Amino acid sequence: MPHEISNPLALIAELTHRCPLHCVYCSNPLELQARTNELSTEIWTRVFQEAATVGVLQADFTGGEPLARPDIVELVRAARCAGLYVNLITSGLPLDESKLAALVSAGLDHIQLSFQGAREETANEISGTKSHAQKLRVLDWLSQHRIAVTLNFVIHRRNMDQLEEMLAIAESSCATRIEFANVQYYGWAFANRENLLPTRAHLDHSLAFIKHEQERLQGKIRIEYVVPDYYAKYPKPCMGGWGRKLMLITPSGDALPCHAAQIIPGLSFENVKDRGLREIWEHSDAFQKFRGEDWMQEPCKTCDRREQDFGGCRCQARLLSGDAAATDPVCSLAPLRPKVDAILAGMNTTPPVQLFAIPAWLYRPNPI
């Protein structure tokens, strides 16, 4: 049965996998693309124009570190000229004052500055590099410009006791948004999960804190909170539903329905060098695969919530159950939920002393 295809609203442009940070929860795939495979300025420019034509409103520039691209100012200008709202997700490391001014005058609308913690030692441990002090400098420069500023704090077991200090950094800056996003367990984070997943007590404390602060700061700073979905009752509506709202382009031009889709066996991806964006969005096998409801199994198939969460995350289903078409195992209705409960039980009985030793992290390398 054919299903109605909506327009994509956002294009996630993974401009490069190169990055000066080595974060232990990086959302990039384990197999990183080398610089020589990256798309040219011209192809990205065409992609932005095609994206605007199919209805995309926003371009999210990410990586790796998007500022590792020497043509980043040109790319911002190209996306803005195509009519897109341009968002740059960055570590801030390769930035200086003149580069920032150039990005803003090229039409940058929004910058998301990532932080790995509120304290230098935690932040440096997690990113595997010295980066924290530079981020604070960038935050200071940003107050000279009229663009939206979001601070992205990725939170987990090792920094969840620093939420108050993280918020204090935001409050003393020009930020209008702050995201506290719990690590999601794919790729590098999946490999490092046992040292990242928070305890139930951590989580409950953070939820109470966030609720209180959201009320206090309403109209001043918008606080977003992303829960670790292993603790959720129902799964997240991953990507707003497969092939419904978002399209991701990898550094080498593959068009993916989500960040981790390459882990699903049997999916083949079209490349923007060979096909137009509309054709890929509407007809490619990868985007069609989990669109609509025909692929669903029980309990999703007859569940009242299937139009709210779309069965959850296909990549998580694959990672935890081996079957990408299964109900996301974090769902309390999923047959495989006991597996997630067993993982959580392990986390919640670990002696707290382990929190003080530095784990044997698997750090993400920098591709050539």
Partner 1 sequence: MPPELSSRPRLAPGCRLGENNQQRVLLMPERALRLNGPSLEIVERCDGKHTVQQIILDLQKIYSKAEPHKVGQDILGYLALLQKERALDFEL
- Pairing mode, strands 110-115 and 10-14: unpaired
* Single residue of 109, 293, 323, 341 touching partner 1 by CB under 8 A: 109
* Single residue of 4, 31, 70, 219 touching partner 1 by CB under 8 A: 219
Q: How far is CA 260 from CA 51, 189, 238, 256, 319, in A?
A: 21, 12, 11, 8, 10
* Single residue of 40, 144, 218, 354 touching partner 1 by CB under 8 A: 218
Stretch binding partner 1 (CB under 8 A), from 219-227, 246-254, 330-338, 347-355:
219-227
In this structure, the number of other CB atoms found within 10 A of the CB of residue 217 comes to: 15
Residue 167 CA to residue 173 CA, distance in Å, equals 10
Stretch binding partner 1 (CB under 8 A), from 32-40, 144-152, 190-198, 325-333:
144-152
Q: Indicate whether 147 belongs to the interface with partner 1 (CB under 8 A).
A: yes
Judge residue 43's burial from the number of C-beta atoms within 10 Å of its C-beta, 0-12 exposed, 13-18 middle, 19 or more buried. middle
Residue 286 CA to residue 307 CA, distance in Å, equals 20
Specify the residue for token string 């401009």.
15
Please state at what angle helix 337-349 crosses helix 314-321, rounded to 10 degrees. 80
Residue 307 CA to residue 10 CA, distance in Å, equals 20
Q: Indicate whether 150 belongs to the interface with partner 1 (CB under 8 A).
A: yes
Rounded least distance, CB 261 to partner 1, Å:
21
- Pairing mode, strands 148-155 and 177-182: parallel
Nearest to 60 by CA among 31, 25, 84: 84
Q: How far is CA 8 from CA 52, 118, 244, 281, in A?
A: 10, 35, 6, 8
Beta carbon nearer to partner 1, 104 or 255 = 104
Rounded least distance, CB 185 to partner 1, Å:
22
Q: Indicate whether 149 belongs to the interface with partner 1 (CB under 8 A).
A: yes
Beta carbon nearer to partner 1, 60 or 254 = 60
Please state at what angle helix 163-171 crosses helix 200-216, rounded to 10 degrees. 20
* Single residue of 30, 81, 85, 141 touching partner 1 by CB under 8 A: 85
Q: Indicate whether 79 belongs to the interface with partner 1 (CB under 8 A).
A: no
Q: Indicate whether 181 belongs to the interface with partner 1 (CB under 8 A).
A: no
* Single residue of 138, 139, 203, 221 touching partner 1 by CB under 8 A: 221
Stretch binding partner 1 (CB under 8 A), from 37-45, 131-139, 148-156, 191-199:
148-156
Beta carbon nearer to partner 1, 174 or 343 = 174
Q: Indicate whether 57 belongs to the interface with partner 1 (CB under 8 A).
A: yes
Show contacts with partner 1 in window 114-133 (CB under 8 A): none
Q: Indicate whether 148 belongs to the interface with partner 1 (CB under 8 A).
A: yes
**By CB under 8 A, how many residues form the interface with partner 1?**
26
DSSP 168-208: HHHHTSS-SEEEEEE---SHHHHHTGGGTPPPHHHHHHHHH
Q: Indicate whether 9 belongs to the interface with partner 1 (CB under 8 A).
A: yes
Q: How many residues does the chain have?
A: 368
Q: Indicate whether 226 belongs to the interface with partner 1 (CB under 8 A).
A: no
Judge residue 176's burial from the number of C-beta atoms within 10 Å of its C-beta, 0-12 exposed, 13-18 middle, 19 or more buried. middle
Rounded least distance, CB 209 to partner 1, Å:
19
Rounded least distance, CB 169 to partner 1, Å:
17
Rounded least distance, CB 18 to partner 1, Å:
25
* Single residue of 3, 40, 55, 283 touching partner 1 by CB under 8 A: 55
Q: Indicate whether 110 belongs to the interface with partner 1 (CB under 8 A).
A: yes
Token representation of residue 53: 């034509």
- What is the Cα 80 distance to its own chain's centre? 22
Binding site for partner 1 (CB under 8 A): 9, 52, 55-58, 83, 85, 87, 109-110, 112, 145-150, 174, 176-177, 218-222
